[in-house]
Structure 1
Amino acid sequence: MPVNLVATPVAELYPVPGVRWGITEAGIRKVGRKDLSVLLLEEGASVGAVFTQNRFCAAPVQICREHLAKNMGIRAMLINTGNANAGTGADGLNRAQASCIALARELNLSPEQILPFSTGVIMEPLPHDRIAAGLPAALADARENNWGQAAEAIMTTDTVAKAFSTRIKLGGTDVTITGISKGAGMIRPNMATMLGFLATDACVSPALMNQLATELAEGSFNRVTVDGDTSTNDSFVVVASNKAAHAPITSLDSAEGQALRAAMLAIARQLAQAIVRDGEGATKFITIQVEGGKTGAECRQVAYAIAHSPLVKTAFFASDPNLGRILAAVGYAGINDLDQTRIDLYLDDVLVAKNGGRHVDYVEADGQRVMKQSEITVRVLLGRGTAADTVWTCDLSYDYVKINADYRS
C-alpha cells in the first residue's frame, strides 16, 4: 500500500488548453491494460525536457534528444508502457523511429516533431507494429480532460496513478498547471523521474523552456530516491501551450516568471514525492533534511548516503531506532574534513545525538515512537556552514524484494 497517497479525483485535474491526451490498449503489456498514450500539442507550444544521465540510455531517450535539437516544433509525444526499448542497440533505435514515423503519418507531421517515450522491461524488442496499429484508436480518444486516464496508462509497478493540478493568476489571467508521472522502483533519477509530463497554458518564451525544465527537475525529481538505481529511460518534459491571455514570460526572474516557476515546482514536488510514497513495498515516507553544510552539494551527498543505506532503510521498515546507522552513513558520505564532534541528529522532534554523541536526555522509547510513524523526518546538522538541502526517500521492505524478483513474471 502506498504511504498516505490516493489518486487525485479526475474532477480535480484541470484540462490544459492546447494539450490533449489519447489512450488505448495496444497489447504491449497485458491483455485488458491500456498501455499506449499520445500527447498532442497545438501549433505554437513550447517544450523543454531533461533526460537520464545513465550512459546506457534507452533508444527513445536518444531520439528525443535528437528531435529536440532539430528545433522543428514538437507537436506530439508517444508513450508506451510494458517495454523500455533499452539495451536494444540499433534495432531499438529503428523501432522507436518507426513508431515516430507512424504517428507523423497519422498527423501529417514530420517525424522530428514527435517525441517517443517507453517504460517497462529492458532488453526486449519494441513491438512497434502494435504501436502503429493502436494509433488510430489513441488519436480518436484524444481530448483535453484525459489526464487521469493518461496517468493510469503510463503506470508499470505503480499502485496509484500520479496526477496533480492547480490554477494561478498571471497578469490577471487564469493559468492552469497539470502534470502526471510514473515510477515506483529503479528510482534515483539523477535528472528527473522514470516518466513525467507537466503542462501549462501559460505563455513562456521557447528560449526559457529547457531552463525551466532543469530547474523544476532539480527542485523535485532530483531530490527523491527509492532504491538508488538510475533508470535507462528517465524523462521529464515541460510544456507551455502559450494559450493563456497574458504577456509572454521572457525571464524566470520576473515577477510572473517566479510565480509560474513556484506553482509548477509545487506540482512537480507532489509528483516526485508521490513516487516515493508509492515506492515498491514502501511503508514509510522519509524526509532527510541536512543543514549546516558548506555547500548544498555536500548536504545532498550526506542526505543520499543516508537515503541509500540498506541498513538505515530496513531499520525504518522495522521501526527499529538503531540510529547509529544514520550516523555511520553521515560518516562515510565522503566529506573528508567532517568534524564528528559538531554533528547533531534529530528524529522529528527528538534530539538523538548532540556533538557527535548520544544526547543525555535521549531514550529509545522516544526514537521508537517516531519510527512507528508512517511519515518521518531525519534532520542532520553538520556544523560546517549555512547550506541546506532535502531528499525524500522510503524504507526497504520484504515486498520490495518480492516485487522485483517477480517483475518479469
Structure 2
Amino acid sequence: MKLKGFKFSAVEAAIKKPGRLDLALIFSEIPAHVAAVFTTNKVVAAPVVISRERVKSGSCRALLVNSGNANACTGEQGMADALSCGRRTSEALGISDEDLLIASTGVIGQALPMDRFKKGIQPLVDGLSMGTLEQVSEAIMTTDTFPKLERRSGEAGGVSYELQGVAKGAGMIEPNMATMLSFLVTDAAVDPAFLREAFAGAVDGSFNAITVDGDTSTNDTALVMANGAAGNPVIKAGTPEAAAFKALLDEVLLSLAKQIVKDGEGATKFVQIRVKGARSQAEAKKAAKSVANSLLVKTAFFGQDANWGRIIAAVGYSGVDVDPNRVGILFDDVVMAANGVFRGGDAEAAGSEVLKQKEFNVTIDLQLGSGEAVVYTSDLSYDYVRINADYRT
C-alpha cells in the first residue's frame, strides 16, 4: 500500500565527488508529528544543533539530508552554511524554516561546498513528484555497500497505514543516544507523546544495541515523522493499536540496525552477543557491549579462532559483577566453557566450525541474576583498516 502524504527526492550534487546521489529531501504535504534522538557525543555537527532545537516543537514538514560532508567542526561558518541551505530549501518548498530539519553525514572538519549544494536544492524540490524513498536511501550512503530500507503495514480502527524507514551506517558505529542516520515515515495518526516514548524505546533496543567499531559519531540522528494522512483514529498509549504500532516500530528499527552491522566496514561476520544471568539488564548490556567492542574478540571472529578466553576477559574488565567460577560461554549450541572452565579440544573444534558461519550467536551466562541483554556486532577484518585509512581520499 502506498504511503500517503509524503514525497521524496534525491539528486547528484557532487558534494564530495560526482557520480552518485548525495542530496535528498523528505517532504510531508501536511504537518507531521516528529520524534528524534541524536548523538550523545559532546562534539556535534551544525545540523544536529539545528535539528535538535527544532524538534522540540514536536512537528515538522521536511528533512534535508546530504552525504559526503558532515559539516562538523566547521565553526560559525558551518552553522551559517547549514542555516543558509535550510533557508533556501524551505523557501523553495513554501514552508517555515522551523519546519525543516537538517542532517548530514561524511567527512568531519571540511566546509560545505556551498556552490554545489545550492545548485542542487531547486532540482531537489522540483523532483519531489518523481522521487522515491529508495533514492533517499542511496543518497545518504557513505562507505555503505548497499542501501538500507524496511517497510511494514499496520491497521488502526479499520484503517490501514504504512511505516517505512531508511538508514545508513557502516563505520563509526556505536550509536549511543542514537557514522549513522535513520529516518522513518508513517502516514498513521499517532499521539505525539506516545510517538516520542515508543520511538525512544525502539531506538534503545535497536540502534543502541549495535556496534561495529565502538565509535560514536558527531552526526548520529534518528527520527520518525507521522503525518496522519492515512486517516486512522489517533493511536494512543495503552491501547491495542498502540501495542501493534510499537511492535512494527521495533521490527523496522531492529531490521535497519542489523543491516548496518551486516554492512560494517570490512565485515565478514554478523554476531549476536547475548549476556544473561547478570545482576540487572543494564549490567548485561554493559558486559555485552564490552565483548562486542573488544578488538581481540572481533579479530578472533574474523580469524575463526574459538578463543573464548578473550570473551571472558572482556566480561571481566567491563565493570559489571562477575564470578569467574560461574561463567558459561556458548558459540551457538556449543558449550565452550561451563562454570568458568574450558570444555576441552572437542568443544574448541566444534566452536571453530560455528565461527566459520557468516552469522552466529555467542551466549554468556553470568549466573548472578535475571538481567539479560543482546548486542549485535561484526568482526574486524583487514578491509576495515584499508577502508578507514583511505576514507578521505
1:69 alignment partner in structure 2? 56
Q: Which structure 1 residue ranges, 4+ long, deviate > 4 Å from structure 2?
A: none
For the Cα contact (< 8 Å) 1:96–1:128, is it kept in 2?
A: no
1:315 alignment partner in structure 2? 300
**CA displacement, residues 275-312 of structure 1 (integer Å, 9 cap, x when unaligned):** 00000000000000011112111001110110111100
For the Cα contact (< 8 Å) 1:193–1:272, is it kept in 2?
A: no
For the Cα contact (< 8 Å) 2:334–2:347, is it kept in 1?
A: no
1:207 alignment partner in structure 2? 193
Deviation at 1:169, TM superposition (A): 2.3
Query: In the alignment, is residue 243 of structure 1 matched against residue 229 of structure 2?
Result: yes
Secondary structure of the residue aligned to 1:363 is helix
Q: Which moved more, 1:130-139 or 1:258-267?
A: 130-139
1:284 alignment partner in structure 2? 269
2:207 alignment partner in structure 1? 221
Unaligned 5+ segments in structure 2 are: none
Deviation at 1:131, TM superposition (A): 2.0
Query: In the alignment, is residue 39 of structure 1 matched against residue 26 of structure 2?
Result: yes
Distance 2:35 2:355 in 1: 40
For the Cα contact (< 8 Å) 2:10–2:131, is it kept in 1?
A: no
**CA displacement, residues 337-357 of structure 1 (integer Å, 9 cap, x when unaligned):** 421111111110101111111
Query: In the alignment, is residue 190 of structure 1 matched against residue 199 of structure 2?
Result: no
1:353 alignment partner in structure 2? 337
Please list, as runs of the form range in 1=range in 2, the aligned pairs for 1:266-281 lying within 5 A after superposition. Answer: 266-281=251-266
Query: In the alignment, is residue 29 of structure 1 matched against residue 39 of structure 2?
Result: no
2:352 alignment partner in structure 1? 368
Secondary structure of the residue aligned to 1:43 is strand
Distance 2:242 2:184 in 1: 16
Deviation at 1:144, TM superposition (A): 7.7
For the Cα contact (< 8 Å) 2:144–2:170, is it kept in 1?
A: yes
Please list, as runs of the form range in 1=range in 2, the aligned pairs for 1:8-407 lying within 5 A after superposition. Answer: 15-71=2-58, 73-143=59-129, 146-192=132-178, 194-251=180-237, 253-335=238-320, 337-359=321-343, 362-407=346-391
For the Cα contact (< 8 Å) 1:19–1:144, is it kept in 2?
A: no
1:6 alignment partner in structure 2? none
Deviation at 1:170, TM superposition (A): 2.2
| AA matched with 1:23 | A
Deviation at 1:78, TM superposition (A): 0.5
For the Cα contact (< 8 Å) 1:321–1:368, is it kept in 2?
A: yes
| AA matched with 1:66 | E
Q: Provide the aligned C-alpha RMSD in A.
A: 1.4
| AA matched with 1:133 | K
Distance 2:374 2:147 in 1: 25
For the Cα contact (< 8 Å) 2:308–2:329, is it kept in 1?
A: no
Distance 2:227 2:211 in 1: 31
Per the normalisation by structure 2, the TM-score is 0.97
For the Cα contact (< 8 Å) 1:346–1:353, is it kept in 2?
A: yes
Aligned length: 393
Distance 2:95 2:66 in 1: 20
Change (3 A) 1:259 1:79: same
For the Cα contact (< 8 Å) 1:186–1:231, is it kept in 2?
A: yes
Change (3 A) 1:242 1:356: same
For the Cα contact (< 8 Å) 1:162–1:271, is it kept in 2?
A: yes
Deviation at 1:145, TM superposition (A): 6.3
Distance 1:245 1:305 in 2: 45
For the Cα contact (< 8 Å) 1:165–1:179, is it kept in 2?
A: yes
Distance 1:193 1:291 in 2: 29
**Same amino acid, percent of matched pairs:** 45
Deviation at 1:164, TM superposition (A): 1.1
Unaligned 5+ segments in structure 1 are: 1-13
Secondary structure of the residue aligned to 1:39 is strand
For the Cα contact (< 8 Å) 2:13–2:116, is it kept in 1?
A: yes
| AA matched with 1:31 | P
Secondary structure of the residue aligned to 2:188 is coil
Distance 1:144 1:217 in 2: 31
Deviation at 1:91, TM superposition (A): 1.2
Deviation at 1:70, TM superposition (A): 4.3
Secondary structure of the residue aligned to 2:273 is strand
For the Cα contact (< 8 Å) 1:15–1:147, is it kept in 2?
A: no
Distance 1:22 1:269 in 2: 25
**CA displacement, residues 308-362 of structure 1 (integer Å, 9 cap, x when unaligned):** 1110000000111111111111111112x42111111111010111111113685
For the Cα contact (< 8 Å) 1:285–1:392, is it kept in 2?
A: yes
**CA displacement, residues 127-182 of structure 1 (integer Å, 9 cap, x when unaligned):** 23322221111112214860111111110000011011121222222121110000
